[in-house]
Structure 1
Amino acid sequence: MSYLQTRTVSHALRVRKLYKEGCRQLQALYGYHRHVYRYHAVLLRDRFEQNKNEVDMRVAKKLLMDGEKELFMKQHPQPFKFPDSPGGVAYGREPHVPDWLLDIWHPFEKAQYPEYFARREVRKKEFIERWEKKYGKPDPDAGH
């Protein structure tokens, strides 16, 4: 879930995101005509280059907010999305299979892959040791 925001977003990062999203919107508008898309992408880049040396943060923030508003007002009605991205046609198509499902396999099923399950048991023990070293052993009375 790399699309979830988990940290503070700096001004520079917001500017980069605005530029990238602007290019994606241009791709949605002119994607079938590559030369027209490139022309508009160069014009967009020039708009960003004209203001890259702005030192007054109040002006820079106003430019950024105006750019985000303009992007919102001019967004494509059906923007380009990658298939596996949120909103894409294949997003969530392949379900996440939890690791514990392998623990409930029948022994005959596990016997078909002896090396894998032997290595898996070793790694599970290593994981438990690292967990207990970092967080301590669980308290058996804590659940009651």
Structure 2
Amino acid sequence: MSHIVTRVTTHSRKVCSLYKRSLRNLEAWYDRRYMYRYRAVLLRARFDENKDVKDMRVAQQLLDEGEKELFSLIHYQPRQFAYSPGGVAHGREVVPPDWVLDYWHPMEKAAYPEYFARREQRKKEYIEWWEKTYGKPAEPAH
């Protein structure tokens, strides 16, 4: 749940985020590299014009105006990276959970004796840590 904000975001972080999202939006609009680079240089110049603003009220107002402008110019079909959420390849390769290895046949485990010996040792260490931290599980009352 990394998308949930759990701490205060600084003003400079918000400005950097706006700048990056603006560049990604330009990338979606201009597929020719030279056209994109020209617009990116103009965008950077606009950001650099206001980098020395010390009054936080003015800076916040500029940030809000920038957010509104980006929202009004957002591309109707933004580019997405293939393996990012929303991309065409996101979640395509399923990573099996660790417990699947517990159901391997002993002959399959024999092919990797060092790995499974270390794995069993780490499982024991984890159980010891769990019991030390949280206590032993309670027996169910019948």
With the length of structure 1 as denominator, give the TM-score of the two structures.
0.86
Range with bigger deviation, 121-130 or 82-91: 121-130
Decide whether aligned partners of structure 1 residues 138 and 86 sit closer, same or farther in structure 2, where only a CA change above 3 A counts.
same
Change (3 A) 1:126 1:143: farther
Where do 5+ consecutive residues of structure 1 fail to align?
none
Q: Which amino acid aligns with 2:138?
A: P
1:63, distance to aligned residue in structure 2 (A) = 1.0
Structure 1 runs (4+) greater than 6 angstroms displaced: none
* Equivalence for 1:99: 98
Partner of 1:16: 16
Counterpart check, 1:70 vs 2:69: yes
Q: How does 1:80-95 map to 2 (within 5 A)?
A: 80-95=79-94
Q: How far apart, CA to CA, are the structure 2 residues paired with 1:8 and 1:37?
A: 33
Superposed displacement of residue 50, structure 1? 0.9
**Corresponding residue SS for 1:115:** helix
| 1:138 and 2:127 correspond | no
**Alignment map for 1:2-81 (pairs within 5 Å):** 2-30=2-30, 32-81=31-80
TM-score by length of 2: 0.87
| Aligned residues: CA RMSD | 2.2
- Which amino acid is the alignment partner of residue 84 of structure 1? Y
Structure 1 match to 2:125: 126
Q: Partner residue of 1:111? A: 110
Q: Could you tell me how far 1:2 is from its partner in structure 2?
A: 4.8
Q: C-alpha separation between the residues in 2 aligned to 1:64 and 1:54?
A: 11
Gaps of 5+ in 2: none
Q: Give the letter aligned to residue 99 of structure 1.
A: D
